[in-house]
C-alpha cells in the first residue's frame, strides 16, 4: 500500500531560479533562504520517496484568467518546464506517475471534488523550483503528480475546502495498492503582495502563527474566509492554501523536523517546513 512519508512546504519566488542559475546562493541576500534546505535534503536521502504530489498554483501557463479551475490534477506521462524567463532556463522533464494520478482523480471526484483532469500539462516555477531546491543536481529520482489550486483569481476555494481536499488526497493515497513512499510538497507564499497600495506587504506575525498551527492546530487557518486571508497575508500570500492542502494529507499528529523563515526575498516572506508523522 502507498504511504505518505512526509510533507515539505516551501516558497516558489521566481527569482530563486535566477539565483540558482547564476550560482549566487551563498551571497548574503540569498544565503539565509538556501540554508533552509540541507536538512531536508538529508531527510530525502534517508527516506527516499518514490513519488511527489506537488500542490501548487498555475500562473497562466495552463489556465489563464478566462478559464481558471478551482482544482486541477495532472495525469500526463511527463511534465515539461515552461518557465516565464526569470528562472532556470533548461530543466529535464519530470516523469509523471499516471497510475497514481488516475487513482487520485477517480477518488477525489468520487469524494465530490470537481477536479479538472489534464492529460497534458506544462509546469512553471511554482512546480519546478521547489523540486530543484530539494534535488539540486537536477536529476529527479521521483515521479510526480501535480495538483493545482486556484490562488490567483477570485473566488478562490476556502481554506476549509482546501483542508478537506488534502484529507481526501491522503485517504486516496492510503487506498492506492502499489507499495509507494509519497512525499507531498506544498508550494508558495508566505505573506506577500506584489501590486497595489499594499505592494511589499509582509505579515511575519501571521506567518509564524500559521506555521505553528500546522503541527499544533492544523485547522486553525480554516476559520478565515479567502478575503480575510488576503487581508492578513496579501493578495499573493493566499498561496498558503497550497501549504494547508499539503498538510491535511497527513492524518493525526505530526512532528516538525525543520523550518526556515527569511524576509524578504523579492518582497516575499520566504519559508520552508518539513513535517513527518509523529512517532
Catalytic residues, by residue number, are 125, 192
Q: What is the rounded distance in angstroms from the CA atom of residue 140 to the CA atom of residue 127? A: 13
Q: What is the rounded distance in angstroms from the CA atom of residue 112 to the CA atom of residue 108? A: 6
- The strand order across the sheet containing 51-56 reads 116-118, 71-74, 143-149, 51-56, 181-187, 3-10, 268-277, 254-265
The answer to whether the beta carbons of residues 20 and 194 sit under 8 Å apart is no
Q: What is the rounded distance in angstroms from the CA atom of residue 104 to the CA atom of residue 64? A: 24
What's the distance, CA 187 to chain centroid? 2
Q: Please spell the DSSP secondary structure of 258-269, one letter per residue.
A: EEEEEEEETTEE
Q: What is the rounded distance in angstroms from the CA atom of residue 202 to the CA atom of residue 159? A: 20
Residue 207 phi/psi, 5-degree rounding, is -55, -50
Residue 180 phi/psi, 5-degree rounding, is -130, 145
Burial profile 192-210: b = 16 or more Cβ within 10 angstroms, e = fewer: bbeeeeeeebbbeebbeeb
The answer to whether the beta carbons of residues 59 and 124 sit under 8 Å apart is yes
What's the distance, CA 160 to chain centroid? 17
Amino acid at each position: 500500500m502507498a504511504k505518505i512519508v512526509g510533507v515539505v512546504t516551501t516558497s516558489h519566488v521566481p527569482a530563486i531560479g535566477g539565483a540558482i542559475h547564476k550560482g549566487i546562493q551563498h551571497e548574503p541576500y540569498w544565503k539565509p533562504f538556501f540554508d533552509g534546505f540541507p536538512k531536508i535534503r538529508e531527510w530525502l536521502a534517508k527516506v527516499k520517496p518514490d513519488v511527489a504530489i506537488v500542490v501548487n498554483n498555475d500562473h497562466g501557463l495552463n489556465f489563464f484568467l478566462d478559464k481558471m479551475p478551482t482544482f486541477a490534477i495532472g495525469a500526463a506521462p511527463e511534465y515539461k518546464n515552461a518557465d516565464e524567463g526569470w528562472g532556470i532556463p533548461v530543466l529535464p522533464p519530470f516523469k509523471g506517475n499516471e497510475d497514481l494520478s488516475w487513482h487520485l482523480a477517480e477518488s477525489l471526484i468520487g469524494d465530490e471534488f470537481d477536479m479538472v483532469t489534464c492529460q497534458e500539462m506544462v509546469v512553471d516555477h511554482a512546480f519546478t523550483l521547489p523540486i530543484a531546491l530539494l534535488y539540486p543536481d537536477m536529476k529527479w529520482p521521483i515521479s510526480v503528480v501535480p495538483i493545482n489550486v486556484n490562488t490567483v483569481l477570485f473566488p478562490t476555494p476556502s481554506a476549509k475546502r482546501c483542508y478537506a481536499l488534502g484529507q481526501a488526497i491522503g485517504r486516496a493515497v492510503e487506498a492506492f495498492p502499489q507499495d509507494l513512499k509519497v512525499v507531498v510538497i506544498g508550494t508558495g507564499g508566505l505573506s506577500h503582495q506584489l501590486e497595489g497600495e499594499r505592494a511589499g506587504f509582509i505579515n511575519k506575525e501571521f506567518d509564524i502563527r500559521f506555521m505553528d498551527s500546522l503541527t499544533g492546530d492544523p485547522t486553525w487557518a480554516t476559520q478565515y474566509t479567502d478575503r480575510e486571508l488576503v487581508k492578513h497575508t496579501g493578495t499573493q500570500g493566499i498561496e498558503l492554501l497550497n501549504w494547508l492542502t499539503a498538510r491535511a494529507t497527513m492524518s493525526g499528529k505530526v512532528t516538525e523536523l525543520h523550518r526556515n523563515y527569511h524576509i524578504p526575498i523579492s518582497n516575499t516572506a520566504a519559508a520552508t517546513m518539513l513535517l513527518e508523522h509523529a512517532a
